[in-house]
Amino acid sequence: MSAGFGLRVLYLCGADNPEGVRLALRVNENPRLWDRIMLLDNNPCKIGQRILGVRTEGLFSFLERGDPQTGSVANLVTGTTSRRWVACKSIQAFGRPFSPLVHPETDLDGVALGRDVLVHKWDVLGPEVTVGDSSVIFMGAIIGHESQLSQCCVVAPNAVLNARVRLGEGAYIGANVTIMPEINISACATVVAGSVVTQGVPECSTVMGIPAKILIKPDDRAYLPAPGLYQGASIRSTGS
């Protein structure tokens, strides 16, 4: 099926994220930004399936069709930060612009957002927060003032990052995690759901518990996001 020329189309890449589909539908309610929203997934078995009425039309290569000036992309791959980064690289090769998806009820005063971010309903982002390119903040998360998320981070539902927390590239923060103020979570680190982090987490480590302790520390940077993943991208500030 063709997307058609002249229509404003949003391509949602990744058909395993119903929350992301719902977010896109809410963002498109008022004002209407896109004439059509469609799903793409590199699993051929998903073609033809629907999520909340949005049909999976094809593989990521579907992005080669239609008018590149009227279609934009949102990356819904969020299972792991490494998979999200690989999906970003694959999508970027088609030359389509990325669209951030931010729930319209989110207070963004004083917040700086990168490209291709997903910010869900009930999130609280404090003043002077920076959310890097391709990062995701799921429902009910709290990001304390002056915290910084580098590119391709994922913050799961109801996680709490207190003031001035820093997440390195590709960090994954599980559901219901609490990170105390001024803690650094290094690149590609994972904090398991329900943990309380009271000290810094080394690069590529997995921590768990109350307080969180190192569970795994692999020496593997294979999926560390490359510097300049989004060449020429600028983070926009929503402050007045």
Per domain, the residue ranges of the chain are: 9-99, 101-211
How far apart are the C-alpha atoms of 239 and 224, rounded to whole Å? 31
Which of the following CATH numbers is that of domain 9-99: 3.40.50.20, 1.10.3720.10, 3.50.40.10, 3.40.50.170? Answer: 3.40.50.20
* Alpha-carbon distance values, 142 to 83, 85, 120, 133, 137 (Å): 24, 23, 11, 18, 9
Structure confidence at residue 7 (pLDDT): 76
111-126 pLDDT, tens digit each: 999 999 999 999 999 9
154-203 pLDDT, tens digit each: 999 999 999 999 999 999 999 999 999 999 999 999 999 999 999 999 99
Structure confidence at residue 231 (pLDDT): 40
**Domain 101-211's class?**
mainly beta
Confidence of residue 219 (pLDDT cuts 50, 70, 90): low
CA 183 to chain CA mean position, Å: 21
Higher-pLDDT residue of 216 and 156 is 156
Structure confidence at residue 204 (pLDDT): 92
Once rounded to an integer, what is the mean pLDDT over residues 148-153?
97
**pLDDT for residue 153 is more than 50:** yes
Once rounded to an integer, what is the mean pLDDT over residues 32-45?
96
19-30 pLDDT, tens digit each: 999 999 999 998
Nearest to 28 by CA among 3, 5, 10, 41: 10
How far apart are the C-alpha atoms of 175 and 203, rounded to whole Å? 20
Once rounded to an integer, what is the mean pLDDT over residues 137-150?
98
**pLDDT for residue 105 is more than 80:** yes
Structure confidence at residue 70 (pLDDT): 80
68-103 pLDDT, tens digit each: 778 899 999 999 999 999 999 999 999 999 999 999
Structure confidence at residue 225 (pLDDT): 52
Cα-based angle 32, 38, 43 (whole degrees, multiple of 5)? 155
φ/ψ (deg, to 5) at 32: -80, 110
Q: What is the pTM of this model?
A: 0.89
Structure confidence at residue 27 (pLDDT): 97
How far apart are the C-alpha atoms of 74 and 11, rounded to whole Å? 6
